[in-house]
Amino acid sequence: MKHLTGLAHIALYTKDLAASVRFYELLGGIVTDHADVKKPGGTNHIMMVRMPGFYLEIIEPHDGTAVAAEGGLFPHIAIETDDIDAVTADLKAAGVDTFRTPEPMTMPIFGGIRNIFFYGPDGEMIELLQHTAG
């Protein structure tokens, strides 16, 4: 389609903006901007975090919007890595203990991948993904 130039950002609701920002900074994110958006039900606080290859718009809603990980249209965020074992070890050393499996899994899909899933501060699922072929 004409005029589409790429992914702008992925929006994520959080119950605790500071905790989510700290968590995504641990994953290599850098805060690039912030805003307060006034709505009839309250003011939403927003931080834009540049991640490797994409941006997250982290929103702490105060307008009555529910923050719930279950049942969303986007089941997870996948972050690509070139060394899944090193990233997993670094996250565990930093105290992340929400991994769904103890070690990355190897799967023969998409030309071969290794991946591991874990949860962020508000229950959002995150996948670390490394392509093994190519």
Q: What is the pLDDT of residues 67-105, one digit of tens each?
A: 877 666 677 898 999 999 999 999 999 999 999 999 999
**CB-count exposure of residue 61 (10 Å: 0-12, 13-18, 19+):** buried
Phi and psi at residue 20, to the nearest 5°: -65, -40
H and E: helices and strands count for the chain: 2, 8
Write out pLDDT tens, residues 44-73: 999 999 999 899 999 999 988 888 776 666
Which residues are CB-contacts of 49 (< 8 A; sequence separation ≥ 6)? 21, 24, 25, 29, 30, 31, 32, 55, 56, 58
Are residues 117 and 127 in contact, defined by beta-carbon separation less than 8 angstroms? yes
Cα 12 from Cα 72, distance rounded (Å): 11
Q: Tokens 């899994």 correspond to what residue?
A: 105
Collect all residues with Cβ–Cβ distance below 8 Å to 62 and sequence separation of at least 6: 41, 42, 43, 44, 45
Binned at pLDDT 50, 70 and 90, residue 2 comes out as: confident
Q: What pTM was estimated for this model as a whole?
A: 0.80
pLDDT tens sequence across 4-34? 677 889 989 999 999 999 999 999 999 999 9
The stretches of the chain forming alpha helices (DSSP H) are 17-26, 84-93
